[in-house]
Amino acid sequence: MTADELLHTYHAYTTDEMQQRAAEFFAEMKRRRTVRHFAERAVPHEVIENCLRTAATAPSGANRQPWHFDVGYPAAGARMPPITKKPFGEIVSFV
């Protein structure tokens, strides 16, 4: 979505709508948990795309947008390599 498209899709909410949406968002965020063990089931491609689209809308200092996203699709039956921590700015790719 372009900046122009985002500008034209803006919706001003009433105070009541803002309060309701904020409460719903807070309730959803309270359900957040840290996951260290993952299921074997595949994540649909559309879900990954929507997650990346959402992440790409995050604000950044001085609009630098210092992020990079890599998505790997392992061969059938293959396991993903373990995720390793890298210093900020280095790219971790799984292909």
CB contact at 8 A, 68 and 91: yes
DSSP 67: -
CA 28, 30, 34, 40: dihedral to nearest 10 degrees?
A: -30
Q: Which of 78, 73, 68, 75 is nearest to 95 (CA)?
A: 73
Q: How far apart are CA 91 and CA 72, in angstroms?
A: 13
pLDDT in tens, 4-48: 665 567 788 999 999 999 999 999 999 988 877 777 787 888 888
pTM to 2 decimal places? 0.49
